[in-house]
Every structure is written in structure tokens, then in C-alpha cells.
A and B are shown apart, each in its own frame.
Chain A
Amino acid sequence: MKIRRGLAGAGVLLGLWGVWKLATTVDVHGLVRLPLWLGGAVLADDFFLVPLTVTAGWLVTRWASRPDGHRTVGTIRTTLLYVGITSLIAAPLLLRQGKGPNPTVLPRDYLRDWLLLEATIVAAGIVGYFIASRSAGNALRPATSAVVGRAWRGLRRVRRAPRCE
């Protein structure tokens, strides 16, 4: 308990130091607008990026209920995730290219490079998909569409069942 209190106390002090630095180095105009940007960052994460990932994951998992889908779902999910995260990082580069005054900032052809990167990730994903499919064909595990379908239906029944709370 002492450790937890010590950590929490140190954290509060460091945080207050940061607030003090903000209050003494940023003018009122900036300070008033900063909470809007902080709120915007939370909205972008919690109400756009993460829901997008959750929804994509849910759709991919639904897709995995087809015969032998569960064997290749990992490859598809990883490929989508890598395409998504690299595109997220690339977005500011693509938006800003050619707009700044300094030609040594953003000197590449970022559209071409981004397309090449995504094509490479997708190509690696396709190779991974076929390797996973082939190894699935050779495997002796008895997971079939019937088994997977039963498990899905079972889970949905469990979650629909009234809870005794």
C-alpha cells in the first residue's frame, strides 16, 4: 500500500509540475484552446480509430466462421492491421507533401512509396494466406465449419441468456 501511495503521490506532483509549466509558458489564447485539442485526441482514438479496429476485427472473425476460415484469419487480420497502422502514419506525410517552404522536408514521392509499402504488405499477406491454407489442408485437426458454426451459435445463446444479477 505504501508503494502505491508513494507512486500516486509522485505522479500527482509530476502532473502538477506539468500543469504549472503549461500555465507559465503558454499564453491564455493557447491555454483556452488546448483542452479542445486534448478532447479531440480522445475522440479520434476512442470514437474513431479503436471502434474501426474493433469493427474490422469483428467482421473478420465473422468471416472466419466459414470452413477453415479460422486457420487463415490471423494472416488476414495482421495484414489489415499493418495496412491500417502504416496508412495512419503515412496520412500526415501525404497531406503535407509539397506544402512546406523547405524542400528537404518530405522530399520523397510519398504517394508512390505508400502504395509500394501497402502493396508489399498485401503481397506478404497473400503469401502468408496460402501458406496457412496449405498447412490447414495437411493438418489433421477436426475443426470444420460445422464445429465452428456450433460454437458461434452456442456463444450467442450464452450471451442472450438472461443473467441472474
Chain B
Amino acid sequence: MKLPAPPTEKSFPSSLHHPRVATVIGRWLGTAVVVCFLTGLYSHFQQDTPGWLPIPSRPATLYRVTQGLHVLSGTIAVPLLLAKLWTVYPKLFAKLPWPPSRKALETMLERASILVLVSAMALELFIGFLNTLQWYPWPFPFRQTHYALAWIIVGALLVHIAVKLPLIRANWRRIAEIVPNSLPPAISGLTRRGLFRTVAGAAALVGITSVGQSAPALGPIAVLAPRKPNIGPQGLPVNRTADAAGVTSVDDNWRFTIKGPQELSLSLDELQQLPQSRSALPIACVEGWSQGGRWEGVRIRDLLELCGAPAHSRVRVVSMEKGGFYATSELPEQFAADPLTLLALRLNGEELALDHGFPARIIAPNRPGVLQTKWVHRLEVIA
């Protein structure tokens, strides 16, 4: 029995496997990648701030917007990447150039850069999406790998654009093209415009059905989102539960300490007797979900004043949680001085639930949720 011949570049009859189609979809995918990269970089710098970069505490909801965009752009990049791969799929079966020549070497390098780009982007989107589910089935650390792959993707993308620049320019200048020998739209029923509409519709569909975890107004239809607004203790989702943090209960003789020029030790009652302030701020998580809450507690800058420290002081926040990357965090001076930044004791009119950080937690504007440290029992003025 004769085996069927393997496909070649000519085996795909649709006229939509065309460089111009690839250029247009590539432009959309490139835009999603750039938005995803820049917002991801911002999130990385929020958690790992270099000394030369002051991150402002306002606008208060900036991180909510950027991280929501990060996850949204990553999610809609899934159909865009598949559409792009579909468009250029015949190229996978193109013959390798032979005999060896300078042209052959260039082709091989171009293919290698595409292999890097496709593999890194596909894996980046996959692990990024699974991270929003808190699911980590791979044998490497998520955060470090996600960050490093992002640079590799952007690098490979620039190389890819450099290689394809003549085609991209031709598309923009609308140079006359050769009509391909393929099925006409009268039969295939799909024109380029139709394909673009379909792909844009697919991206919009996955976007609309998942963005509700960041924009609560669309929460009811966010059927593809791993989070649902209003679900959780006190109507707010939780990222790390008290159980996972090893905080199972809080003693009645719990005391809060602030160490500055003077060291103060206060019981929960004494904290509640201090002037209380209110902040309406969102918890905006690195996984993309966010939801607003009404917080009540003591301003950090009031606590700094009480212990004799200047309002613009850097503060180390120490939690009772056991282990984990975020058992301590640091409040830069602009966040500590912001009147919206609280040592929160109450949420939505009730005492904090244990999962939300009872008896006290940090809530600050424009900060990732992982840095809104829960179960706080100590503040240390650093400088």
C-alpha cells in the first residue's frame, strides 16, 4: 500500500494563506503582545521596584486597569495567535533551501527565530492563563519564567519584524499583488474581510466572556473567567486563604507593634480607638481580577506620626503568615504618606474576615494585591 504523500506548501487551497492576511493579523497580535508586555513590565516593577523608578501612588486604580488589560490582552492573544499560525501554516511545509548558500542560511535563521517566537508565545499564554486559575502543573517557577519568556518573545518579535519588513511595507503601501491560484471566495465563502471579521469576533468573544473578573459590570457574563465578583467572604474574592497562609486563629491578647523612633504596642481595642479613616479602594490582583471595597482603619501616616517618624518614611510590613514570598512587604514613602493608605481593620462595614487579613491588613492605592499584606502584626520604619 502506498502511503499518501506528505503535504507541501501548495497543498493548502485557501487564498487566505496569504502574506497580506498574515500582516494584518500580525499587526493585531503584535498590538496585543505590546500591551501585554508593557502592562506586565509595570506589574513586575511594582513587585520588584528598581531604585531609579519611583512608582506613584495615584491614580488609585491604575494597577487595576493595567493588570486587567494585561490578562485581557493575553487572553485575546490566544485566538489571534491561532489565526496567525493558521494563515502562515503552509510555510511550515516549505522546502528547506538546498544547496547551502547565504540565502539558505538566512532562511534557516529566520525559521529558527520563528520557532523561538511561536514556542515562547504559546507557552507564555498557556502558563499565564493557568496562573489565573492558580494551577501550576509545570516544573519551573511561574513568575521568573513568565518574565524571562516575555523578553525572549519581544526580542524574537523584533527579529521577525526586521525579517518581514519588506512585506509589511508592501502591505501598507498597497503594492499590487499576484493573484494566487486558489479557491475563489465564491466557493470558499470566506473573503479576507470576512476572515478579519471572524477573527476579530473570536477575540471580542473571549474578551467579553472573561473581562468581567476585572470589570464587575460584566461579571454575570464572565463565563470564561476564573473569578466572579462578589464571591468570597464579605463579598470579595481571596487570593491566599488564611488556611494556606497558616493563620488559623488570632489570640485575644494579639498586639500590633510599630517600631520607629519610638516603639508602640497596641491592642486591637486601642487601634480601634485611634482616629479611623475610610478608603474606597480595589483589591487588584496580579491574576487580573479586581474588585472595589470600602475599607476603614488607621492611616499609616497617622501611625508614623504617633511613633515620631516623618510622614515620608519607608515602612516594612510584617505579616503573621508562615512562609510564602509575601510574608513581608515594603511600603515606599509615597505610599506610606498617601492619605488613602490604611492599616485596615474593617471591610464593607464589618470587621475583617480572617481570609481578608483579620485583625489588620494594609490597603493602599495603585498596588498589586500581593503587596496589600494581610494579618499584619508589625510595622518597621526603615528610613
A interface vs B, CB < 8 Å? 3-8, 10-19, 21-22, 25-26, 29-31, 33-34, 37-42, 44-46, 49-50, 53-54, 57, 61, 64-65, 69-74, 77-78, 81-82, 85-86, 88-90, 92-93, 96, 100-102, 104-108, 110, 113-114, 116-117, 121, 143, 148, 151-152, 155, 158-159
Contact = CB atoms under 8 A, between A and B. Distances in A.
Chain A facing B: main interface SS:
helix
A66 to B, nearest CB: 11
A105 B132 CA distance: 9
A108 B206 CA distance: 17
Given A15-B152, A105-B226, A108-B223, A38 B140 contact: no
A38 B119 contact: yes
Which of B86, B113, B150, B210 lies at the interface centre, i.e. has the most chain A CB atoms within 10 A of its CB?
Answer: B86
Given A7-B159, A15-B159, A106-B133, A151 B145 contact: no
Contacts of A39: 119
8 contacts: A14-B152, A22-B152, A25-B141, A42-B119, A50-B89, A65-B187, A85-B78, A108-B223
A15 B285 CA distance: 28
Interface string B150-166: 11111111111111010
Interface string B136-153: 001111001101111111
Contacts of B118: 41-42, 45-46
A45 B230 CA distance: 36
Nearest to B14: A57
A130 to B, nearest CB: 16
B165 to A, nearest CB: 5
Given A11-B154, A100-B135, A155-B183, 18 more contacts: A3-B165, A7-B159, A12-B159, A18-B152, A19-B152, A26-B144, A39-B119, A54-B12, A54-B86, A70-B187, A70-B189, A72-B189, A93-B224, A102-B134, A102-B238, A116-B223, A121-B205, A148-B187
Contacts of A34: 140, 145
B115 interface: yes
B227 interface: yes
Interface string B91-119: 01000000000000000000001011011
Contact of B155 (A14, A33, A41, A57): A14
B194 interface: yes
B156 A11 contact: yes
A15 B108 CA distance: 18
A70 B336 CA distance: 65
Interface string B289-321: 000000000000000000000000000000000
A115 B277 CA distance: 46
Contacts of B231: 104, 107
B194 A11 contact: no
A26 B158 contact: no
B45 interface: no
Nearest to A112: B223
B202 A104 contact: no
B224 A74 contact: no
B158 A53 contact: no
Contact of B151 (A5, A15, A143): A15
A92 B226 CA distance: 10
Interface stretch (B55-63, B122-130, B322-330, B365-373): B122-130
Contacts of B266: none
Which of B78, B224, B231 lies at the interface centre, i.e. has the most chain A CB atoms within 10 A of its CB?
Answer: B224
A152 B155 contact: no
A65 B156 CA distance: 41
Contacts of B138: 33, 37
A155 B161 contact: no
A8 B85 contact: no
B172 to A, nearest CB: 14
Contacts of B36: none
Contacts of A151: 183-184, 186-187
Nearest to A34: B140
B73 interface: no
A87 B146 CA distance: 24
A89 B206 contact: yes
Contact of B75 (A73, A81, A89): A89
Given A22-B148, A30-B141, A105 B133 contact: yes
Nearest to A101: B244
Contacts of A65: 187
Contact of B156 (A15, A57, A100, A148): A15
